Chain A
Amino acid sequence: MAAEKGEKGAAAKEVAGERMVTLESSDGEEFHMSEAAAQLSTLLRHVIEGGGIDNGIPLPKVAARTLEKVIMYCEKHAKAAAKSDSDPSAAAGSSSDNTAAASEDLEKWDRKLVNGLSQDALFDLIVAADYLVIDGLLDATCRKVADMMKGKTPDEIRKIFNILNDFTKEEEEEMRREYAWAFDD
Chain B
Amino acid sequence: MGSSPAAEARPGTALEDLPEDALLSIFALLAPADAAAAACASRRLASVASSPVLPVALALRLGLPPPPRPLSPSAPCPAAARRLLRSLHRLCRLLGFWRRLPSSHSAYQSHAPSLAAFEWGPRATLAASFLSPSPHGFAVSKTPFVTLSIAESGDTVAAIGDVPVCVNFVGNNHIVVEAAAAEDEGEEMVSGSPPEEIYAHFANRRSPGAGRRRRGRQGRRWGGMEAEHFVRIADAEPTEARPLQGLWKGICENRTLEFYLVTYGDIGGVTCRRFSDTRGQNSGYSPVFWTTDTTFLEPPFSEQELVNYSSRDHIRDVASSHAGTENRVISRILCMHSSYDVVDPHLSTPFDARNVEGRIWLYEDGTFGFGFVGSNSIIELRNVSSASCILDTLH
Q: Which residues of A contact B (CB under 8 A)?
A: 25-27, 60-66, 120, 123-124, 126-127, 129-130, 138-139, 142-143, 145-146, 149-154, 157-158, 161-167, 171-172, 175-176, 178-185
- In the complex, A179 Cα to B36 Cα: how many Å? 6
- In the complex, A161 Cα to B18 Cα: how many Å? 12
Identify 26 residue pairs between A and B in the complex whose beta-carbon atoms are under 8 Å apart, listed by A's number: A26-B4, A27-B2, A27-B3, A60-B7, A61-B6, A120-B11, A123-B17, A126-B18, A127-B8, A142-B26, A143-B29, A149-B34, A149-B37, A150-B30, A152-B37, A154-B37, A157-B41, A158-B41, A162-B14, A172-B40, A175-B40, A179-B37, A180-B192, A181-B89, A182-B89, A185-B33
Q: Min CB distance, A100 to chain B, in Å?
A: 17
Given A63-B8, A124-B8, A166-B43, list of 16 further CB < 8 A pairs?
A: A60-B7, A120-B8, A123-B14, A127-B22, A138-B22, A142-B22, A142-B25, A142-B26, A149-B26, A149-B37, A154-B40, A154-B41, A166-B42, A175-B40, A182-B32, A184-B169
Q: Does B45 contact A (CB under 8 A)?
A: yes
Residues of B within 8 A of A181 (CB): 36, 86, 89-90, 191-192
Within 8 A of A (CB), among B88-102: 89-90, 93
Task: Find out whether the CB atom of A130 lies under 8 angstroms from the CB atom of B21.
Answer: yes
Residues of A within 8 A of B16 (CB): 163
Given contacts A150-B30, A166-B43, contact A157 B18 (CB under 8 A): no
Given contacts A172-B40, A175-B46, A181-B89, contact A27 B192 (CB under 8 A): no
Residues of B within 8 A of A180 (CB): 192-193
Q: Min CB distance, B53 to chain A, in Å?
A: 15
Task: Find out whether the CB atom of A179 lies under 8 angstroms from the CB atom of B40.
Answer: yes
- Nearest-CB residue, chain A, relative to B30: A146
Q: Does B38 contact A (CB under 8 A)?
A: yes
Q: Min CB distance, B21 to chain A, in Å?
A: 7
Task: Find out whether the CB atom of A123 lies under 8 angstroms from the CB atom of B192.
Answer: no
**Contact size range, B:** 35 or more
- Nearest-CB residue, chain B, relative to A165: B42
Choice from B21, B38, B86, B93 contacting A154 with Cβ under 8 Å: B38
Residues of A within 8 A of B25 (CB): 138-139, 142
Choice from A62, A120, A150, A175 contacting B13 with Cβ under 8 Å: A120
- In the complex, A25 Cα to B1 Cα: how many Å? 14
Residues of B within 8 A of A175 (CB): 39-40, 46
- In the complex, A126 Cα to B90 Cα: how many Å? 31
- In the complex, A162 Cα to B42 Cα: how many Å? 11
Within 8 A of A (CB), among B33-86: 33-46, 82, 86
- In the complex, A63 Cα to B25 Cα: how many Å? 23
Residues of B within 8 A of A26 (CB): 3-4, 6-8
Residues of A within 8 A of B82 (CB): 178-179
- In the complex, A182 Cα to B85 Cα: how many Å? 10
- In the complex, A103 Cα to B270 Cα: how many Å? 39
Residues of A within 8 A of B306 (CB): none
Given contacts A126-B22, A149-B34, A181-B89, contact A176 B40 (CB under 8 A): yes
Q: Does B31 contact A (CB under 8 A)?
A: yes
Choice from A123, A138, A150, A154 contacting B15 with Cβ under 8 Å: A123
Residues of A within 8 A of B37 (CB): 149, 152-154, 157, 179, 182-183
Q: Does B299 contact A (CB under 8 A)?
A: no
- Nearest-CB residue, chain B, relative to A151: B34
Q: Does B9 contact A (CB under 8 A)?
A: yes
Q: Does B19 contact A (CB under 8 A)?
A: yes
Q: Does B268 contact A (CB under 8 A)?
A: no
Residues of B within 8 A of A138 (CB): 22, 25
Given contacts A138-B22, A143-B29, A181-B89, contact A161 B14 (CB under 8 A): yes
- In the complex, A66 Cα to B13 Cα: how many Å? 13
Task: Find out whether the CB atom of B192 lies under 8 angstroms from the CB atom of A150.
Answer: no
Q: Give 1 or 0 for each of B144-178: 1 = CB within 8 Å of chain A CB.
A: 00000000000000000000000001011000000
Q: Does B300 contact A (CB under 8 A)?
A: no
Task: Find out whether the CB atom of A61 lies under 8 angstroms from the CB atom of B7.
Answer: yes
Q: Min CB distance, A101 to chain B, in Å?
A: 20
Given contacts A26-B7, A152-B34, contact A130 B19 (CB under 8 A): yes
Q: Min CB distance, B162 to chain A, in Å?
A: 27
- Nearest-CB residue, chain B, relative to A60: B6
Residues of A within 8 A of B345 (CB): none
Residues of B within 8 A of A142 (CB): 22, 25-26, 29
Q: Min CB distance, B17 to chain A, in Å?
A: 8
- In the complex, A27 Cα to B14 Cα: how many Å? 21
Residues of B within 8 A of A171 (CB): 43
Q: Does B12 contact A (CB under 8 A)?
A: yes
Most buried by A among B6, B38, B89, B193: B38
